[in-house]
Amino acid sequence: MTMARNGTPVGQVTTSTTGYFTVPADSATMTADERLTLDNSLVPGPPTSHTSWTFASTPSPNPAIIPPPTPPIVKLEYQPMLDPLDYARAHLPLQLGLQVQHQMPLSVRDQGWWTPLPDTYHDVQLSYSTDHGTTWHPLHLVPVKGGSYLTIVPGADLVPGGTISLHGTATDADGNAIDQTVIDLIKAR
C-alpha cells in the first residue's frame, strides 16, 4: 500500500495489507493505493485486486485533546445473488447489488455513536469482465436508495467454469473517491 499527500508520496507498506500513516498537520488531499494478490491455496477469494482511494484529510482542531477526524473513505460492497455454494449459475442472468458508502471508523464500529456521512454519490459506475480484466463491459446501474444500486450481468456471459471480474468507481459530494478492480470475484458453474 502506498500513500500520497497532494500527489507527493509520503509512505509505503509492503509487508501487510494494512498500513498506518501519520495524518498531516494541515488539510490535504490524500491518495491510498493498494494492490493485493492472494494465494488461493491459502486464502479463498479473488486472486488480485487494485483499489485507489482519494480522500480529504483534516487535522484536529486541538491535537492535544481531540484526535484527528477519521478520513471519509468511500467503499464499494458487491452483493451478487449467488447459489448456496457461492457460485453464479451459468447461462442465467446474475442480479448484482452494489452498495456505496463511507467506511465506518474502526474505533467506533461497535460503540454505536458514529453518525454516517450523507450518502450522496455521483460518478458511480460498474463494469464487468469475463476475460480476467482484459475487456470491460459497462453495466446499467439502477439506483435503489441511500447509495444502493442494482444491475444484471447477462446470462450469456456466464459460462460453466468462467469468472466475472468487476471494476467500480464512485465519488461522494466532497470529492472523496474510490476506483476498484477485483479480478475473478465471481465464479460460475
Q: Which of 73, 34, 79 is nearest to 54 (CA)?
A: 73
| 82 Cα distance to chain centroid | 20
Q: Which of 72, 168, 172 is nearest to 121 (CA)?
A: 172
Q: What is the pLDDT of residues 49-90, one digit of tens each?
A: 999 999 988 887 787 887 777 788 899 999 999 999 999 999
The total of structural domains in the chain comes to 1
The predicted structure's pLDDT at residue 113: 46
Helix (H, G, I), strand (E, B) or coil at 108: helix
Check if the beta carbon of residue 107 is closer than 8 Å to that of residue 98: no
Beta bridge partners, 125, equal 169
pTM of this structure: 0.86
CATH of the domain at 117: 2.60.40.1930
Q: Where are the beta strands (DSSP E) in the chain?
A: 2-5, 8-12, 28-37, 48-57, 74-80, 94-102, 121-129, 137-138, 142-145, 148-153, 163-172, 177-187
Beta-carbon neighbour count of residue 149 at 10 Å? 22
- In degrees and rounded to multiples of 5, residue 181 shows phi and psi of -125, 125
- pLDDT tens digits in sequence order for the chain, 189 residues long: 899 999 999 888 877 666 677 766 788 999 999 998 877 777 666 788 999 999 988 887 787 887 777 788 899 999 999 999 999 999 999 999 999 988 866 554 444 444 555 567 889 999 999 999 999 999 999 999 888 999 999 999 999 999 999 999 999 988 999 999 999 999 999
Check if the beta carbon of residue 52 is closer than 8 Å to that of residue 168: no
Q: Which domain holds residue 110?
A: 2-187
Phi-psi region at 64: left, alpha or beta (left = phi > 0; alpha = psi -120 to 50): alpha
